Every structure is written in C-alpha cells, then in structure tokens.
Amino acid sequence: MANSYWVEPDVKFVRQLKTMGGDTLKKCYQCATCSVVCPISPEERPFPRKEMIAAQWGLKDKLVGNMDVWLCHQCNDCSTYCPRGAKPGDILNAVRGMTITEYAWPGWLGKIVPDARFWWLLLAIPIAIFLVLLGATGYLKIPEGEIEFAKFFPTLLVDLVFVPLATLWIPLTFGIGISRFMKAIHNNAVAEGKAKRNDLNIPDFLKSLVCTIPTILSHSKFSQCTANKDRYLAHLLVLFSFAGLFVVTNIFFVALYILQLPGPYSQANPVKIFANLNAIALLVGVILMISNRLKDRGPNVGKGSYFDWSLILLVLGLVATGGLSELTRLAHLPSIAYPMYFAHLVFVFCLFAYLPFSKLAHLVYRTLAMAYSRYALREPCE
C-alpha cells in the first residue's frame, strides 16, 4: 500500500502568489510540457512541473526553500509552449520574489518593497531624510556661483548617509536573509534526500560557489534560452556597468579621503571617462530590458510584474538623473542641475536601502542556490 501524508494547502500563499504576478497558476493541468521544453532543467529532477503542482496546492514550504526555483532563469520557453497559458515562468518568478520576502529582515520592509501600494513611501523616506539633513545644516537652497554639488549637498553629509548603508545596513540585512535562505534550502535538500549529509560542509560549499561564479558572470544559462534569448546582452550590460560604477565610486572615495583630491574632476580624467562609459552602458542595458519586456512574444509570455518593473524603473531613474546632473552642470544650469542631483541621490538611496528586498537580490540568491546545486552533486563542478 502506498504511503500517504496530510496536505494542508496555504490559501493565503496562493493569493499572494497571484498578486506577485502568478495569477495564471490555476490554468495548469500538469501536462509536463514546461519541463520537457526547458533547455536548462536538470534531467533527474526537472522543473517547473513539480513547482507548478506545489503552487496550485499552496505548498509554501516546497517552494520558498526550494533551490530548483532559482535554477530557473525565466527563459519563458516553458510559457511559450504551454498549451493552457499557465505561464510557468511567471509563476516561478513570483515564487522567487516571495522567497526574498519570506526570509527578509526586517520583515515589514521585505513586505512593502514588492508591494505596489507603497512605492510612494519608499521614495518619501529618503526625500524626508535628505530634506531634514539639508534643512538642519543650512544647505536647503540653490547655491550661487559655479556649480559644485558639494556646495548644495556636502560630501560629508552624502557619506554620512551612504557609507553606513553600504557597510552596515546591506551586509546586516542581506546576511540575515541569506542565512535563513541557505538554512531552508539545505533542510529541504536533506529531507528530500538530495544532500549527502545533514550538516552543511562550508569548505565544499565554497568550492562549489567558486565554480558557479563564472556561470553567473558569463550569463551562459541565458544564452541557452530561445524565447527570451535577447535578454542576454541587456543583463550583461547592467551587471558589468554596475560593477564598473562600483569600482569608480571606490576610486573617488580614496581620491577624496586619502589623496585629498576633491571633485569635480575633469571630463578628460581617465576614471571619469570610465565612469561615463559605464553609465552609458547601464542606460543602454536598461533600455534594452524595457524594450525586451514590451515585445509581443505571444499571449503566453507576460511582460513582468510590479516587482520586476520597480527595479527597472529605479535603475532608469538612477542613470537618467545622474547623466542629467552632469550635463546640466556642464551647461551651467543650476536651477536644474541641483534638483536633478537631489533626485539622483534619492534613487541611489533606494537602490542601496532596498537592495536586499528587491529584484536585484536575485543575483545573490540565485548564485547561492546554483552553488548549492553543485554542492549537492546535482551539477558537479567541472
């Protein structure tokens, strides 16, 4: 006689999945077409069919702590060929968003970042902080004379806000969320017999992580897609331009505080040129992302949820206000340059403060899940 077990559907979880972009999950009738056509699904435990079953039944624990959800790169080949229009790619994307929310700390912030009702609050927080800082220090006015952003928003005040965000807030919140996530996927792997030992062997896992990083950097999984293969270039441009701008930021930080070389810097400065090239690459990348999502790929392929678009529009606002700040400074238009710089700082704050709870966190969660997959010997390191 077959073993039986009690299944208790989480109806609230199903409703949340629908609000995150998974509103088509009930259309699935388990034909397994999605798992057959997926070019990156592992043969021994193919997705997304089993994840679609769990989503329909509201089996939250089978999804939010499931590493297979993160092996999916939302190629949407599965959605393209789905005979029922169930959009498995969108369902797994919604599950990934809910996974970040599930393990986020603080929990209240993890809930409001992906919620379209609170976009105004997320913007209002940095605006209020900056206005209070500028008002309290007497800088809440448009300076006269040559445009220097440090005369409007002193560099020390900028660093007072962003250095703690980068060095304390992001490591703390990300660290807690990631540790919860790793514990969950390991426990699930042990329960399902996918892990060879009950404890996580840190040295072996780190070896798997090192093996995974080249795959992430090359985006080789994206190149295997067919329906959304053009996402490959856009994602590469965004990834490496962010990395380049991170390097530039640290160089300028050293130049200011160690070498005592304050800006603004000449447009002919090699680091400045590198920064501008990365900003252009970021702009091109995000425009390609928008274009790719708006393309008509048939009724089965969605154009993304609020969780997806909120990050895309944030990055667009970030690079647009940064570029316009520089251009209006060079054009000697202080009435536009200073407000544009203020807006740019607001977008930078949003990127930093909400990074562990946004779609951008996918990069870290997916990397760790793929590394754990290698660690569990499902995809051995070559």
Spatial CA neighbour of 174 closest among 100, 244, 225: 100
Q: Tens of pLDDT along 131-185?
A: 999 999 888 889 988 999 999 999 889 999 999 999 999 999 999 999 999 999 9
Q: Is 79 exposed, middle or buried (0-12, 13-18, 19+ CB in 10 A)?
A: buried
Q: Tens of pLDDT along 236-292?
A: 999 999 999 999 999 988 988 888 888 778 888 999 999 999 999 999 999 999 998
pLDDT of residue 380: 60
Q: Tens of pLDDT along 290-333?
A: 998 898 877 888 788 999 999 999 999 999 999 999 999 999 99
Q: What is the pTM of this model?
A: 0.92
CATH numbers and ranges of domains, the chain: 11-103 (1.10.1060.10), 107-375 (no CATH)
Identify the residue whose tokens are 């690459």.
281
257's enclosing H/E stretch is helix 231-257
